[in-house]
Chain A
Amino acid sequence: MDLTYTGDDLAFRDQVRAFLEAELPADLRHKVENRLRLHKDDYVRWHRILARQGWVAPGWPREFGGPGWTPVQRHIFDEECARAGTPPVLPFGVNMVAPVIMAFGSQAQKDHYLPRILSCEDWWCQGYSEPGAGSDLASLKTTAVRDGDHYIVNGQKTWTTLAQHADMIFCLVRTDPGVRKQEGISFLLIDMHAPGVTVRPIVMLDEDHEVNEVFFDNVRVPVSNLVGQENKGWTYAKYLLGHERTGIAAVGRSKRELARLKTLARREQKDGRPLLQDPLFAAKVADLEIELMALEMTVLRVLAEAHKAPGPEASVLKVRGTEIQQRLSELMVEAAGPLALPFDPAYLEGEREHSAIDDDFAAPLLPHYFNYRKTSIYGGSNEIQRNIISQMILGL
């Protein structure tokens, strides 16, 4: 057993660091580090910088434009990006729809969509969930009825992240209502600019606009936008969900947040000394740090098995990863204390340089804590992940 990075890995890390040092624009880093709200341009700009370097899609095979990295290199890359404070690359195109198109799409779909995903020409969003179909995704009702060489799509999707900016949405739609609910589903690519598509914002509890409802009213979608076979969409959907398995643990990001938590807890005082030296608080930070160390080791163990097909281990990473993220956001608020209370949306939007209460560090912490309640809900709630662990791994 050997738990150190190889010389090649370390050389790779230095190369990534040098790139990030040179290429990450200071204003983007500032926004990420200070948890200011990111706008469409911010995401697109960073995506294109990575694309120029050929690094936007670390998980893609070389033939489609991936860099051909080992799983450990991908992990190092994620961690370095988190450390440097880059915006995220949105997963909907690169990590979600692209693998499905690669595995099951037509040649024409591969030729058309994959390069546009790499270059961020198309902004993608994910149309799975519906008002009545959340955890029970297979009970979705949006229909696609064949009419010559088009499908006519009717129904409603919800919780569609950043759909307000999207050019394309990949949807699960019902093409055969007469069979078992998992069987009549198809995987369809829909142009968000098509007539009959309407997007309505949903305001989140931190008053940010992040998710949407998407309505389809007799939307005509060419049959050539069907991925794979009709009525086989559930298989592709599951393939997609199992595909990205280590990234969801977000270890790199949590390590950065832990460092920030400690910075904050050294700055804040309790009983005349740094809060971090308060035994009650230090014990909580230590507990979390140890949990994060364990998660990192678990991720590395999963990576070592990366040649195997993605499996239910992803659920372990999702549950622990999100719980750690939430706990970090909680302790951050505790550390700031009452200074976390004032709410300053203008500052978060970047409309003014400093927060109204003169504390740029504390200002975004409570909104972030509230917003991060989502992580244990989306992407298959943590209860559903526990069901998967008990059924698929434990055989209960």
Chain B
Amino acid sequence: MDFNFKEEQLQLADALKRWVARDYTFEARRTIVGSAGGTSDAAWSTLAELGLTALPLPAAHGGFDGDAVDMFVVMQELGRGLVVEPYFATMLGAEFLRRGGAHGALLDRVAGGELKLACALGERQSRHDLRDVATRAVQEDGGWRLNGEKKVVLHGAQAGVLIVSARSSGAQRDQDGITLFAIPADAPGVVTRDVRMLDGQRAADVLLRDARVGLDAVVGTAGAGWDILEAAADYGAGLLCAEALGAMDALFAATLDYLKTRQQFGVPIGKFQALQHRMADMYVHLEQARSMALLAAVRLAGEARDGNPEERRRAVAAAKYRVGQAARFVGQQAIQLHGGMGVTDELPASHYFKRLSTIELTLGDCDHHLARFIAQPGFYGDEEAA
């Protein structure tokens, strides 16, 4: 067993920390969030220069073949820095393309930092169930025509290419019959409506009105998109666990600091046992969440090597559940312990809390992943499985 990060991983984390401290301060971030586009081209260039846009991509396409543990390190720092750039959306999109096999040219551009991606997976009725796809894709005249409406597409309006799930056959909630597409955001029939979220990030509705793409837009195999979709969503959930962990770490540290400095009744409030125990419970949550986020990263990396999805599914479902629980506990308590200051827009604390709450609702909430965990083979014991 080795729980240590590699030297290069630590260096990368350091570089990111320095960048956040210098260029992505809370004030700088506030300006970016308030700007019309909601993201920063300068920040994106820096992320690309640091090699982050290439990190998980295949070497054949200008990438570094980084695995999920490398990405854990990155996402944790982006969470700590409350970075609102469309990095997560882009890397999730890249995972679809990588697994799909074709689209090397797009991957080249992602690795070089020239192209951002977004993933249009959820719909009005689908909640957290990505099998539930009503958007229709019909093959005709040497191409595809898509109709439907994708909801809450993270950074959908900032992306050059959208990864879209659509149904080419089967009933609405079937696993079979889903086809994935890589669609240029400016393709005819594609309309994006940009909306801000309270955590500062952007999400869009994507309307597909007779959107037309060529046969080569398909990611993977037509009608058999589910395996890629599920695996990529797990990869994304793993990244979000790492981001949440970074955010929790920072929020925990800020709260600890507040408890040591805020004076009431002539003492720092951290002297009150009621708050000490709360802080101790937050610490326990944090460490349990860290363990699970790491486990998810290791299993995702393992699957990429040996191709066995079962351990990945179990670990990611467990991690997203456990991290979600911790995010809620740590987030809520941190606000409470900050008193009135905690519910203001002024301190970073409320912004961490909001990001954590948003992550909870992204790519499956606690109930979704708990149910998924229960549904994995072996949960009910050997007799049941036999």
A, B assembled together: yes
Residues of A bordering B, CB below 8 Å: 129, 132, 134-136, 139, 158-159, 202-207, 211, 268-272, 275, 278, 280-281, 330, 333-334, 337-344, 356-359, 366-367, 369-371, 373-374, 376-378, 381-383, 386-387
The answer for the CA separation of A158 and B158 in the assembled complex, in Å, is: 40
Contact A340 B332 (CB under 8 A): no
Return A308 CB to nearest CB of chain B, in Å: 28
Interface of B is mostly: mixed
Contact A268 B127 (CB under 8 A): yes
Does B379 touch A at the CB level, under 8 Å? no
The answer for the CA separation of A200 and B331 in the assembled complex, in Å, is: 28
* B94-109 interface with A by 8 A CB criterion: none
Contact A134 B195 (CB under 8 A): no
Contact B152 A343 (CB under 8 A): no
Contact A376 B265 (CB under 8 A): no
Contact A207 B345 (CB under 8 A): yes
Contact B339 A374 (CB under 8 A): no
The answer for the CA separation of A330 and B344 in the assembled complex, in Å, is: 19
On whether A134 and B362 interact (CB within 8 A), knowing A203-B346, A207-B345, the answer reads no
Return B278 CB to nearest CB of chain A, in Å: 9
Contact B361 A341 (CB under 8 A): yes
Contact B345 A378 (CB under 8 A): no
8 chain-A/chain-B pairs, Cβ below 8 angstroms? A202-B346, A211-B340, A270-B127, A337-B361, A343-B195, A356-B193, A373-B336, A383-B275
Contact A272 B195 (CB under 8 A): no
Residues of B bordering A, CB below 8 Å: 122, 124-125, 127-129, 151-152, 173, 193, 195-198, 203, 205, 263-266, 269, 272, 274-275, 328, 332, 335-336, 339-340, 342-346, 350-351, 353-354, 357-358, 361-362, 365, 367, 370-371
Return A135 CB to nearest CB of chain B, in Å: 5
Contact B272 A383 (CB under 8 A): yes
Contact A334 B367 (CB under 8 A): yes
Return A240 CB to nearest CB of chain B, in Å: 19
The answer for the CA separation of A377 and B358 in the assembled complex, in Å, is: 22
A-chain residues with CB within 8 Å of residue B203 when the two chains form the complex: 341-342
A-chain residues with CB within 8 Å of residue B269 when the two chains form the complex: 135
Among the listed B173, B205, B275, which residue makes an inter-chain contact with A272, where contact means beta carbons less than 8 Å apart? Answer: B173
Contact A381 B361 (CB under 8 A): no
For A330, give the chain B residue with the smallest CB separation: B328
The answer for the CA separation of A75 and B81 in the assembled complex, in Å, is: 48
For A136, give the chain B residue with the smallest CB separation: B264
Interface of A is mostly: mixed
Contact A136 B361 (CB under 8 A): no
Contact A338 B122 (CB under 8 A): yes
A-chain residues with CB within 8 Å of residue B195 when the two chains form the complex: 342-344, 356-357
Among the listed B152, B342, B343, which residue makes an inter-chain contact with A341, where contact means beta carbons less than 8 Å apart? Answer: B152
Contact A341 B344 (CB under 8 A): no
Return A37 CB to nearest CB of chain B, in Å: 14
Contact B197 A341 (CB under 8 A): yes
Contact B263 A204 (CB under 8 A): no
Contact A281 B353 (CB under 8 A): no
Contact A205 B344 (CB under 8 A): yes
Return A329 CB to nearest CB of chain B, in Å: 11
Contact A374 B343 (CB under 8 A): yes
Among the listed A281, A357, A373, which residue makes an inter-chain contact with B332, where contact means beta carbons less than 8 Å apart? Answer: A373
Contact B339 A338 (CB under 8 A): no
For A207, give the chain B residue with the smallest CB separation: B345
* Given A205-B350, A370-B357, A377-B340, 8 other A-B residues pairs in contact with their CB atoms under 8 A: A203-B345, A333-B357, A334-B367, A337-B127, A338-B127, A342-B152, A370-B343, A382-B336
Contact B336 A136 (CB under 8 A): no
A-chain residues with CB within 8 Å of residue B152 when the two chains form the complex: 338-339, 341-342, 357
Among the listed B124, B198, B340, which residue makes an inter-chain contact with A207, where contact means beta carbons less than 8 Å apart? Answer: B198
B-chain residues with CB within 8 Å of residue A386 when the two chains form the complex: 274
The answer for the CA separation of A378 and B345 in the assembled complex, in Å, is: 17
B-chain residues with CB within 8 Å of residue A378 when the two chains form the complex: 340
A-chain residues with CB within 8 Å of residue B275 when the two chains form the complex: 383
A-chain residues with CB within 8 Å of residue B351 when the two chains form the complex: 205
Among the listed B127, B193, B265, B357, which residue makes an inter-chain contact with A136, where contact means beta carbons less than 8 Å apart? Answer: B265
Contact B342 A373 (CB under 8 A): yes
A-chain residues with CB within 8 Å of residue B151 when the two chains form the complex: 338-339, 357
Contact A204 B345 (CB under 8 A): yes
A-chain residues with CB within 8 Å of residue B127 when the two chains form the complex: 268-270, 275, 337-338
Contact A370 B354 (CB under 8 A): yes
Return A348 CB to nearest CB of chain B, in Å: 11
Most buried by A among B128, B198, B269: B198
The answer for the CA separation of A155 and B344 in the assembled complex, in Å, is: 21
